[in-house]
């Protein structure tokens, strides 16, 4: 059977996972009466809730005696560690672009990688039925983007289809017939995408996706570059430096058939398969026949830009809500995550009670923390910090700079420009983007963007859309002002009383509710001034036997500000931590005792 391997590239929320659903349905991968979930490729709970693809996944369909392997790539730059490796598996790409929003920074991120490895893309303009669609302008923007990314003449001569993934149709004309469904797209893939290049020689394959399975152990997915493989065949694993990592036998070969993975007896060069049976081989390693001595070249991976400390939870409430609290289980979980996610780096601190976790952005780290708390872990995490680099030539400190694109209503553009300039951002473009909206483009230090997302939504009444992309390293831009408010701290342990909270409302908004457990040093509210203030939230109303009009009115509390995980991480200062448990997200000082905090401040200022 003929083979085609393609990736679907799109920005977050431009509809690629929905398009894959329709391709599976129309190619007959499901039975007529089979019940299928929506967005079948989003396997992870957080992917379904947030509507973003985090892990790259493969599927396959059959069309006109050709098997088309489709890889759904993450659209978010924080999960770009997945993207670079995926593109080495495929021979073509469908670039899916929203007919109203046009190409966005993350589209640029993945397309740039695809053009670099020589893929010839097919452009699909999706959601042409949107009332604010601007099809011709978007096609021109895509062409300009390809040209800016140094595409070759052959890559610039891309075929274009128009349609709607949700409605399940594509056509060469935006006003064309919808009756053929996605047939024009599938036919174009067979005609435009070349067959996989097959090299001569024995079995070789680069690992591109790693996952753990309770029954089969480590499963490595990749594309076979040369030769063929059968179960029980002897193989060895070579690292990027050519050193032998392990030797072993393949216990199972799984091929993608629709959304199922089916065991097969033999796989040949060009096909994308998953193999099981090896215990140490990981992503970017070469899996090969024992006769091979040279590893295959793998794509380099962009460096991590943000780091956080994951600390064993030592608060007075530790162990009351989660069952995984010791440093050993946290360590095992983090190292297991790092095995499959090459964009993460884990370092253990000398005292073994905390771990430095570095990744592409705070979203990637927040998703890891969210997964851990759902699994029953309790831990404390610090504010994200950027990873600085020292320039060897000049000895200068360099910091990561990101390209930021903000789409916002014209009336709010002033406050966005002002806030971004306070964060040392440099504006490089301002242009109208249709419908009284403007598109602003900045180069901004990563550390200035930590926590800006929630502030941006508040400033623009929820109308702004921000997209970020790692740009390069530049000299340190100087100090950036932080939070201007202090915090309200509980001065003893117990349960917060409504009467006490009511009397403290003049001091600033609360972030806890009545009845919540508190402890000394825990943050319970935002102080209206710039200093920290210890308060008593356990003080009840003095009871007397005198009755008077208005004496026994029930207190009416202002609803507290609810801190989500991302908001809490970006809001805290360097001397504060977020305590994460399966049931709660609490904010606290690093040193709970007031005397310890004073000693820490003295030592810092000395």
- Confirm whether residue 18 is marked as ligand binding: yes
- The CA distances from residue 36 to 28, 40, 168, 281, 560, in Å, are 13, 7, 15, 34, 40
Measured in degrees and rounded to the nearest 5, phi and psi for residue 262 equal -110, 130
Number of other CB atoms surrounding residue 362 within 10 Å: 24
Query: Is the pLDDT reported for residue 536 higher than 80?
Result: yes
In sequence order, the 6+-apart residues with CB closer than 8 A to the CB of 37 are none
Q: Which CATH architecture has domain 389-475?
A: 2-Layer Sandwich (3.30)
* Domain limits, the chain: 2-192, 204-288, 389-475, 487-576+587-605
**What is the model's pLDDT at position 522?**
92
pTM for the model stands at 0.69
Question: Three-state SS for 269?
Answer: coil
Query: Is the pLDDT reported for residue 56 higher than 50?
Result: no
- Confirm whether residue 313 is marked as ligand binding: no
Query: Is the pLDDT reported for residue 492 higher than 80?
Result: yes
- Confirm whether residue 243 is marked as ligand binding: no
**What is the model's pLDDT at position 488?**
92
**What is the model's pLDDT at position 523?**
92
- Confirm whether residue 129 is marked as ligand binding: yes
pLDDT tens readout for residues 91-105:
888 888 888 888 876
pLDDT tens readout for residues 255-266:
887 767 788 899
CATH superfamily label, 204-288: Translation factors (2.40.30.10)
Topology of 487-576+587-605 in CATH?
A: OB fold (Dihydrolipoamide Acetyltransferase, E2P) (2.40.50)
Q: Region 448-470: what's the mean pLDDT?
A: 79
- Contact between 253 and 273 (Cβ < 8 Å): yes
What is the three-state SS of 34-57?
CCCCCCCCCCCHHHHHHCCCCCCE
Model confidence band, residue 568 (pLDDT cutoffs 50, 70, 90): confident
- Confirm whether residue 127 is marked as ligand binding: yes
- The dihedral of CA 143, 144, 145, 146: what is its sign? positive
Q: Region 51-69: what's the mean pLDDT?
A: 68
CATH superfamily label, 2-192: P-loop containing nucleotide triphosphate hydrolases (3.40.50.300)
- Confirm whether residue 273 is marked as ligand binding: no
Neighbouring-strand partners of residue 124: 96, 161
> How far is it, in rounded angstroms, from Cα 113 to Cα 122?
15
**What is the model's pLDDT at position 548?**
57
Residues of the chain with pLDDT > 70: what percent? 87
**What is the model's pLDDT at position 518?**
92
- Confirm whether residue 407 is marked as ligand binding: no
Q: Region 400-415: what's the mean pLDDT?
A: 87
Beta strands at 92-98 and 2-10: parallel, antiparallel or unpaired: parallel
Least confident range of 45-54, 291-300, 495-504: 45-54
- Confirm whether residue 359 is marked as ligand binding: no
Query: Is the pLDDT reported for residue 77 higher than 50?
Result: no
């Amino acid at each position: 059977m003929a083979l085609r391997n393609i990736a679907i590239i799109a920005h977050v929320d431009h509809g690629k996972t929905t398009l894959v659903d329709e391709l599976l349905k129309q190619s007959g991968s499901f039975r007529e009466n089979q019940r299928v979930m929506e967005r079948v490729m989003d396997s992870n709970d957080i992917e379904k809730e947030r509507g973003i693809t985090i892990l790259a996944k493969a599927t396959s369909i059959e069309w006109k005696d050709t098997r088309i392997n489709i890889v759904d790539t993450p659209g978010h730059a924080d999960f770009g560690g997945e993207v670079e490796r995926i593109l080495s598996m495929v021979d073509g790409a469908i670039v899916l672009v929203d007919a109203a929003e046009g190409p966005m920074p993350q589209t640029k991120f993945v397309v740039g990688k695809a053009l670099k490895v020589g893929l010839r893309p097919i452009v699909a303009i999706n959601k042409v039925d949107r009332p604010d669609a601007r099809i011709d302008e978007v096609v021109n923007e895509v062409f300009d983007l390809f040209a800016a990314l140094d595409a070759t003449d052959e890559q610039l001569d891309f075929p274009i289809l128009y349609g709607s993934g949700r409605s399940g149709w594509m056509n060469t004309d935006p006003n064309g017939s919808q009756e053929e469904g996605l047939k024009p797209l599938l036919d174009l893939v067979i005609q435009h995408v070349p067959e996989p290049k097959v090299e001569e020689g024995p079995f070789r394959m680069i690992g591109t996706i790693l996952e753990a399975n309770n029954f089969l152990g480590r499963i490595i997915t990749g594309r076979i570059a040369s030769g063929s493989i059968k179960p029980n065949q002897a193989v060895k694993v070579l690292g990027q430096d050519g050193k032998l990592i392990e030797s072993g036998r393949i216990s199972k070969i799984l091929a993608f058939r629709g959304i199922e993975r089916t065991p097969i007896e033999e796989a040949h060069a060009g096909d994308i398969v998953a193999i099981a049976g090896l215990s140490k081989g990981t992503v970017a390693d070469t899996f090969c026949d024992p006769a091979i001595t040279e590893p295959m070249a793998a794509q380099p991976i962009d460096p991590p830009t943000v780091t956080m400390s994951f600390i064993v939870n030592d608060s007075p409430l530790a162990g009351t809500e989660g069952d995984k609290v010791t440093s050993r289980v946290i360590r095992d979980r983090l190292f297991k995550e790092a095995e499959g996610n090459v964009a993460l780096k884990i370092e253990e601190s000398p005292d073994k009670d905390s771990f430095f976790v570095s990744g592409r952005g705070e979203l990637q780290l927040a998703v890891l923390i969210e997964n851990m708390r759902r699994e029953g872990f309790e831990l404390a995490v610090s504010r994200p910090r950027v990873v600085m680099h020292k320039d060897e030539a000049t000895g200068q400190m360099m910091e990561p700079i990101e390209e930021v694109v903000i789409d916002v209503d014209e009336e709010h553009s002033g406050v966005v420009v002002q806030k971004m300039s306070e964060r040392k951002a440099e504006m490089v473009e301002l242009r109208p983007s249709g419908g009284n909206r403007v598109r602003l483009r900045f180069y901004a230090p990563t550390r200035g963007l930590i926590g800006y997302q929630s502030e941006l939504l508040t400033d623009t009444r929820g109308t702004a859309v921000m997209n970020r992309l790692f740009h390069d390293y530049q000299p340190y831009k100087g100090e950036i002002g932080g939070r201007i408010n202090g915090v309200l701290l509980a001065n003893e342990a117990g349960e917060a009383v409504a009467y006490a909270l009511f009397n403290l409302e003049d001091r600033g908004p609360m972030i806890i509710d009545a009845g919540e457990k508190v402890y000394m040093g825990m943050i319970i509210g935002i102080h209206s001034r710039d200093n920290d203030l210890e308060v008593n939230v356990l003080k009840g109303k003095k009871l007397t036997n005198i009755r008077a009009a208005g004496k026994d009115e029930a207190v009416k509390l202002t609803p507290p500000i609810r801190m989500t995980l991302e908001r809490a991480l970006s809001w805290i200062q360097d001397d504060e931590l977020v305590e994460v448990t399966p049931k709660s997200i609490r904010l606290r000082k690093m040193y709970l005792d007031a005397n310890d905090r004073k000693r820490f401040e003295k030592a810092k200022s000395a």
